[in-house]
Every structure is written in structure tokens, then in C-alpha cells.
Structure 1
Amino acid sequence: MYDVIVVGARCAGSPTAMLLARNGHRVLLLDKASFPSRTLSTHMISVAGSAQLRRWGLLERIEATNCPPVKRIVLDVSFELFGAFTLVGFPPPVDDGFAAIYAPKRFFLDKILADAAVEAGAELRENFIVEEVLMDGEQVTGIRGHGPDGKTVIEHARLVIGADGMRSIVARSVDAPMYNTAPSGTCGYYTYWSGVPIDSLEFYTRPYRTIVAFPTNDQQAAIFVEWTHGEFQDFKANLEENFLATLDVIAPDLGRRARNGKRVDRFMGSADLPNFFRKPYGPGWALVGDAGFHKDPITAQGITDAFRDAELLANAVHAGLSDKLPLDEALKGYEQQRNQIITPLYEFICDRATLEPFPIEFQQVLAALRGNQEAINRFFGVIQNTIPFREFFSSENLLQILGAGSLTETTAAH
């Protein structure tokens, strides 16, 4: 009998298992993959997420994979009213001077996280397929599945946590309710390039197109391109040509660097990018990571979301299993904390994921940032999860940025 079974051992599951094991709980960690292995990913770990790795004692392991720190953000925009301009900066430091972004390939990151869970005392079973979530009435009691040998295995636990992605078997089995949903607005592809000089996180945004590029392991560049969801089949039909043509039009300097370099991997991507919250707990079960909450990857925050929610959930579960709080009350608090932190940015991302032009009021704010380095850095703190969305986009702060005049409700909301 385990205290907790965690289904899924990547960016949400392994940290949850690690933190619970560090608190003395008996944890079984399961994954259908073996590690190291690849998976679709936005790669980027924001300043807030990188700071968590540092607090967990794992950042040096990321650095040892030859993954460079990024300490500069470049945002390139073009508006009809305000023209084309570039904002350059970086968020203010956190945690006694820490300020860096890392973007490791998942081949390295997930192995580091799984190893850390095992070192903390969790039991890891790789290549394990969960076939069924066991229930006694509405109470989840464990799982049934099989490992590489095909033999049926049944394990029981006080709590089963689904960290197994947006198509989570745990979420489906308990029929976890969805809310605050929005359809997929984009499709996206990425790949890796060698010989492409890059030392910054580069964002290029135009109506109906977004490009993101940054350095990753082994002196390679990761380049992402997003189009509207309805264009998926057209772009997929001639992927490389359309990918490079988008770079040429929107980010010609990056396009030149890519053409002068060498593509070293296949194109990877998806058009299945829904936006939703799920109720993340119930009798004997909980959800974390993409299983409990998913949003368009346009701002590349999925890994940071997983880290944050893993810590929130692990704290709640520890409080419940240690009888500091009733478990249901602790898990209810987890959902409230998660939603309070992420909802404002989630709503902004759902609006932006249509790739429609930015609202005029938001364009006005970005244009007003020019020449105000402190405000630029704080704006980048919003997308790096170190400055609360509501704090930056408060009426008082926007009035200060804009300098004079009154704000409409739309301006304050966006």
C-alpha cells in the first residue's frame, strides 16, 4: 500500500513525486516511457521555473547538459498605428539575485527530474502502462496495469495523482469536470538548428503568426513557428518551405541565420492545443500539470506551470496525509491557489491564441514602454512568471506607464 501513486513521470509528475518523497511519503511513480526520451515540448523554463529548479537543487544538473542560461529577451512587434519596434530587456532578479531562463531538451530534463524523484525515495517504474484506475464507488483506490513483461499488476494507494497529460487516463476515469474552456487557436511546429548564432529569447509577433527562438543544448537553436489553427493542413503540406518562408517575412535576420545554419532534426508539432481547466481533485485522486490545466503554448510557460503546480499539490497532499488539514480541504486550497495565480494570464493567452491583432489598448501599452527600461523589464517579468499579471496590468501601473489620460476598462483588462 502506497501513500501516493503518481501516473506520469515528466515535468509535473516527477517533481510531485520528488517533493512528496522528500517529505517522507511512500510514492510509486509510473510512466509509459523510459528515460531519457523525447516528447513534444515548449522547452523554455521561465525565470520563475528556473528559480524553482535552483531551490530544489537541480539547476546545476541542467547546466551540466551544456544548456546555456538566457539573460536577454527580445520582443519584435509591428503595429499599424505605432509602427515596428523592438523591446529588449530582462525581468528583475528573484531569490537573492537569480535571473536566468533555461531551455533544455526534454531528453535531458525529464531524466534529471525522474532521477531526482528516485533519489528522494520514490519508486519509479518505466515502460508501465496504466490500463485502469481502480475505484470503490466514487473513491479511487489504486491502479491496474502492466510493465514490459505484460503481467498484470495491481497497486493500491491513499491517493492517485494523474500527471499524465491532457488526455489523462486518471482524469477520464473519474470524469473530472472541465471549465473555463476555449478552443484551439493555433498550430505550431519547431525543430533544432546548428550554426545559428543566438543568445537571447527572441519573440516575433505579427497578426496570425508568432515566432519564438532560443538557444538549447549543444550550441543548437530551437525555433518555433505558430500559425492559425485553420491553416494547419496547408502549412503541413509543405512544411519546411512554409516554415522558412514565415521566418523570411516576419524575422528576416533569424531567417538568414537559419538558412546559413543546418537543420539537425525533424519538424515536431501539433494542432491539438486546447485551453481548459479541470477540477483537479476528488475522492482518492488529484491532477497536476496538463492533466489538470492546459493552455496554448504561445508564451512557452507549460514547464513552469507544471513545476509550480507540482509544488502546490505536493504541499497540499503532505498537509492532508500528515493530518495537518483534512485532505479534501487541502486539495480544495490547491485548486484555489492554482486558479488565482494563473487565471488572468490564461485569459490573456486564450485571447492572444487566436493570433488576431493585439487590441489597440494593448498596442498602446507596448508602444508606451519604449524608453522605459524598468517598465520593459517588469513586463517581461509577467511573461516570465515573476511579476503578477494583475499587478502589472493594474490601472495605476498602466496610468504611470502611459503618462497621462484615463484608461478604458478594456485597457485595464488586457
Structure 2
Amino acid sequence: MAQDDYDVVIVGASLAGCTAALLFSSMGARVALLEKRSSMDVYKVLCTHSLHASAMPVLERLDLVEALREAGAVPNYASWWAEWGWITPDHDGTVPFGLNLRRETLDPLLRRRAAAAPGVDLMLGSAVTAMLERDGRVCGVRATHGSKEIELTAPLVVGADGRNSAVAAAAGVRTRESRNLRFGFFAYFRDFPDDDGLSRAWYMGSDCAFSFINEDGIRVIVATPNKADHLAAFKADLATSFRDYIRALPDAPHIEDAQQISKFIGVTNFPLFQRNPSRPGLALIGDAALATDPVWGIGGSWALLSAEWLVDAVAKSLDNERELDAALGRYGARHTRELRGHQAQIRRYARSRRFNFAERLMFSAAARDQQTATHLYRFGTRLITPTQLLTPRAVLRAGKVNLMHATH
């Protein structure tokens, strides 16, 4: 059996794994980056293709923003529809924005950047079969690589292998699952007449839909209806049901005037997963730690951010297991602190419910007031927490806006 020693073994060479590999490389670590698929050009298919403003500092730190722009990435300026009308935050340069780029383009670009980084060994076609443990802590992985079985040892193993994480399963990390009472299908379209470059979202009670602009004038159109009212029809005739659902949207995108360039892609069951992000010798990042509802398009951004949180927590402790495990505890605590409130709100909304009182207050005021719209945008891109969204000052302003509207 072939063996090798590293500072870090990262399993999964997608957004989270490649980000972690690049950041560890920049700090001088020797990294094994394992990917079970054998092609450099594979990519995640089920994705909204958005990197929110909250993740832009990570891209800037990686010196990737210009490369993404050269690959065609476009600003994800957005507008949302709710029952009170359209909500459009300021797009005047004072509000930070993210980028949209299809994973077909993004994933290979990031993987090649990671493969070229000093100290990173990218091992395509490597599937983890077991965790190596010593004295109760993870200390490496056993994997198949081509026709060989290999063992890679390291003081830190990172699971960046997605919602169905083989690392989490092999390490016995418990998965907490929440039901999602919506389902989703999407397709790619291009050549929309008079395209204004805005991404759009529709929040219609228990139903949602999206239109995300991407590179080369391509849009991904997404239907995310509630299961109770729509699933049977979509199963019976997907193409007709999808088109009828999109055409019924307020100010609907004219898909009949555009060219559909892909098949319909989607799933009827997409639960939310949450796992403890760390234990001695082991960390989980990206969807391996927390797989959220794609309705909010935030998963890719959290993949980048969780990778950065991990590296910043542990990079100076890789040569001391006791200090490393303490640092892993700090990473886990930060991951929970940063995302717990967001995930709780997302999990509740995934029950296919209508907006609650606080959401109705803020969305209705945002449709009537630019300042509230911009404040709500900051929450939507996860630049602020649910608590920061509902500060007394913000709630008071929203209440005054709605009261003035009611009296006119």
C-alpha cells in the first residue's frame, strides 16, 4: 500500500476544497487534494451559480476576481418580487455585490488554480474508503487511487465532499436532516430580448422562482414550487408544467422568446443537512458541514467562507496536535455562530410556509422604501445576520413606511 504524509488532506476538489487548498498553500502547507471524479473539468450541476457579496472578500484574497471576470462572470444585481411589488436595492456602487458564473466555468478554473499552487498535490480519481485514527483522533485517510489503495496521513483531514460526504460517513459524524417541502427544476436559456442584466427572484407565498443572469447572456430559470400543490403535475409532464409555472409569474420572463439550451435539471427531494463541523483531527466545510435550501442561492458563498474560517483558525497549529484540536474547536464554534441564525430561518421557510410577521413587515416596507430594500438586500446576501436585520431602528422604519402607505 502506497503511503505519504501531508500537513492537510482535503477530500473534495470543488469550491470549498479548492479554496481551502489555495489558502493552506499560501501559508506554506503541504496539501493532498483528493477528488473522486477523474476529470479536471467536472462541475456541480445542481447549483444557482451565484457567489454573493458576503463571499467577495474571499475571492479577493485568492486574487480570483479578475480571473472570474475574464471568464465572463457578471455582477449579480438583483430584484425580488413579493406580493407588495418589486424590491430593488440600490445598484449605484455603494452596496457590495457578488458575481454569477456557471459552475461549468467556475469549477475547472478554480481546480486548475489549486492544482498549480505550491505544495498542493491534486489527486483525481481518488475515492475515500476509510478514516485513519489514532488515540481517538483522525490522522489520515485510506483511499483508492486508480488501481491502487493508498494511505495518506496528516494532522488534519478536511471533508469538502458535499452533502453526501463520504468523509463524514466514514468518521461517524451524525447528520441532522430537515425536510424541504419544496422541489426544484431549472433549465438554461439564452437570447432573451431586451435583457436588462438583472437577476430576479419571486417569493409567492409557499412558491418561489428565479431567473439568474450568467456569462454569455445565459440565464438559468428555476421553478421551486411547493410539493403539495405542484409535484404531481411536474411528475406527469415536466416540460409543460415548468413552462406554465414560469409563464404565470408576475412580470414573467418570456421564455417562449428565448432559446432553451439545456434539458430540465432538478430533484423532487432536497432535504437540508447539518453536521458538527469539527472533531479532533477533522473538519467539515461547505455542504459537508451544512447543506442549505438552494432557494436562497447561498451555498456556494458559504463554501468559500467556511474554508476561510477553517484555514484562519488552524493554519498556525498544524505542527501541534493539541493546539490544532483546540483551533478546530474554535472553527466549529465560529461556523455555528455565523450560520446558525441564517440556517434556522432558511429551515423554517423550507417548510413551504408563507412569510411570518417579521418577514412580511420587512418585505412590504422594502417594496415601498429604497433604504429598507437595501437593508433587506444585505440580509439576503448574508452580509448581516437575522438579528441585525431586525434591529429596533430597522423595524421602526419599516413600520413607519407601511403606516404611511396605509394612510395614503
- TM-score, with normalisation over the residues of structure 2? 0.90
1:252: how far off? 4.6
Aligned to 2:301: 304
The alpha-carbon distance between structure 1 residues 2 and 114, as it changes in their structure 2 partners (threshold 3 A), is same
SS at match of 1:171: helix
Residue identity opposite 1:61 in structure 2: A
1:35 aligns to 2:40 (yes or no): yes
SS at match of 1:42: coil
The alpha-carbon distance between structure 1 residues 361 and 390, as it changes in their structure 2 partners (threshold 3 A), is closer
1:170 aligns to 2:167 (yes or no): yes
Contact in 1 for aligned 2:40/2:112 (Cα 8 Å) = no
Q: Distance in 2 between matches of 1:64 and 1:110?
A: 15
Aligned to 1:315: 312
- Mean alpha-carbon deviation: is it higher for 319-328 or for 46-55? 319-328
Aligned to 2:213: 215
Q: Distance in 2 between matches of 1:90 and 1:115?
A: 35
1:138: how far off? 3.0
1:98: how far off? 7.3
1:392 aligns to 2:392 (yes or no): no
Q: Distance in 1 between matches of 2:314 and 2:267?
A: 33
- Extract structure 1 runs of 4+ deviating beyond 4 A: 90-93, 322-325
Aligned to 2:19: 15
Aligned to 2:108: 111
The within-5 A match list for 1:282-301 is: 282-301=279-298
Contact in 2 for aligned 1:198/1:221 (Cα 8 Å) = no
Contact in 1 for aligned 2:274/2:289 (Cα 8 Å) = yes
1:195 aligns to 2:195 (yes or no): no
Deviations 1:63-121, CA, capped at 9 Å, x for gaps: 112232233x211112xxxxx4111114786xxx6733212111211122222222332
Aligned to 1:89: 89
1:124: how far off? 0.5
1:131: how far off? 2.1
1:145 aligns to 2:143 (yes or no): yes
Aligned to 1:412: none
1:74 aligns to 2:45 (yes or no): no
Residue identity opposite 1:136 in structure 2: R
1:56 aligns to 2:62 (yes or no): yes
Deviations 1:29-88, CA, capped at 9 Å, x for gaps: 0111222223221211111223421232101111112232233x211112xxxxx41111
Contact in 2 for aligned 1:140/1:283 (Cα 8 Å) = yes
Deviations 1:250-308, CA, capped at 9 Å, x for gaps: 24531xx2111111011111233222321111222111111111111111000000011
Q: Distance in 2 between matches of 1:145 and 1:404?
A: 59
The within-5 A match list for 1:227-266 is: 227-230=225-228, 231-232=230-231, 234-254=233-253, 257-266=254-263
Q: Distance in 2 between matches of 1:91 and 1:309?
A: 27
Equivalent of 1:275 in 255, 272, 275: 272
1:209: how far off? 1.5
Contact in 2 for aligned 1:90/1:380 (Cα 8 Å) = no
Residue identity opposite 1:42 in structure 2: T
Aligned to 1:183: 179
Aligned to 1:411: none
Deviations 1:187-242, CA, capped at 9 Å, x for gaps: 11111101122511201111231111121122111111102245545413311111
1:156 aligns to 2:160 (yes or no): no
1:356 aligns to 2:353 (yes or no): yes
- Mean alpha-carbon deviation: is it higher for 152-161 or for 306-315? 152-161
1:185: how far off? 2.3
Residue identity opposite 2:201 in structure 1: F
SS at match of 1:345: helix
1:173: how far off? 1.3
Residue identity opposite 1:182 in structure 2: S
Aligned to 2:129: 131
Contact in 2 for aligned 1:140/1:284 (Cα 8 Å) = yes
Equivalent of 1:334 in 331, 335, 344: 331
Residue identity opposite 2:70 in structure 1: A
Residue identity opposite 1:369 in structure 2: A
Name the % identity: 24
Q: Distance in 1 between matches of 2:249 and 2:14?
A: 34
Q: Distance in 2 between matches of 1:11 and 1:131?
A: 22
SS at match of 1:329: helix
Residue identity opposite 1:76 in structure 2: W
Q: 5+ unaligned residues in a row in structure 2: which ranges?
A: 404-408
